[in-house]
Amino acid sequence: MKKLLMLSDSLGVARCFPEETSDDQVWIYRLMDTFAGQCKMRLFRQKSLDARRLHAYYHSNLKAYHDVDIVVIQVGVVDSYPRSLSREDLRWMNKMPQWVQNIVNARVKANTEYFIKRRDNRYVKPHEYRSYMEKMKSFYPHAEFLIVPIGPACTAFIEGNSLVKASIEEYNAILQDIFGEAYLAETYEGVDLDKMFISDGHHLTAAGHEQVFNTLSKQLTKLLAE
């Protein structure tokens, strides 16, 4: 029996806020229910997971997952999001008195566009993202991959960040270059993106989970039949 390993960030998690997505709607649980008994299911999932952390977890956790035949990866929105402040900025801010933090946060929030354009504060830069994802591929040299694209920017996401659309496209192009046909480009083709994501612009609605599930289910059926 083949072994399936699913690696995901918070887009694979049931959630209550800001809108509810129930467990039965989440693409991961739907795959687990649909293919139960057809393959061994393994799951590694964490909120705010990025490629750097995923790479680090390989050496502390994922290396213990042996004889994996199929790897599903949905990671990248945390990496690619253009931010007002870097992680280093945030570390320094956390050392400041709360009243100072409040002033800085208010200024940044009022001038978001200026700060995101001032410098590249993406948590994982494009060249780093490529390196980490290439290494993830090399960690499972005999496995088939299924790569879920970073969700394209919907209206709500673009309204909150003018650089996010181009950045997501850049990182998706990296995934497609590394994984080729394993990159599931059809996942979000021909859909109304504003119906795919909840009001925060990047977590999936029930319709979004349905879209991801349908794409993965079709590909997984083929791989399990081989």
Question: How confident is the model over 182-197, as pLDDT tens digits?
Answer: 999 999 999 999 999 9
> Residue 102 — pLDDT band, cuts 50, 70, 90?
confident
- The last residue of one of the domains, among 92, 121, 150, is 121
- What pLDDT is recorded for position 43? 97
**Domain shared by 95 and 189, yes or no:** no
Confidence of residue 164 (pLDDT cuts 50, 70, 90): very high
Query: Which of these three, 121, 149, 180, is where a domain ends?
Result: 121
Q: Are residues 117 and 155 in the same domain?
A: no
Mean pLDDT across the chain? 94
CATH number at residue 58: 3.40.50.1110
pLDDT digits (tens, 9 = 90+) for 24-62: 999 999 999 999 999 999 999 999 999 999 999 999 999
Domain that holds residue 197: 3-81+124-225
Whole-model pTM? 0.93
Neighbours of 143 (CB within 10 A): 18
Q: What is the mean pLDDT of residues 141-154?
A: 97
**Same structural domain, 109 and 39:** no
Model confidence pLDDT, tens digit, residues 109-143: 887 888 888 989 999 999 999 999 999 999 999 99
Look at residue 83 in the predicted model and tell me its pLDDT.
Answer: 94
Claim to verify: residue 54 and residue 108 sit in the same structural domain: no
Task: Return d(Cα 32, Cα 214) in angstroms, integer.
Answer: 13
Predicted local distance difference test score (pLDDT) of residue 96: 84
Q: Which of 81-120 are b and which e, b meaning 16 or more Cβ less than 10 Å from the residue's Cβ?
A: bbbbbeeeeeeeeeeeeeeeeeeeeeebeeeeeebbeeee
Number of domains observed in the structure of the chain? 2
Domain boundary among 121, 140, 173: 121
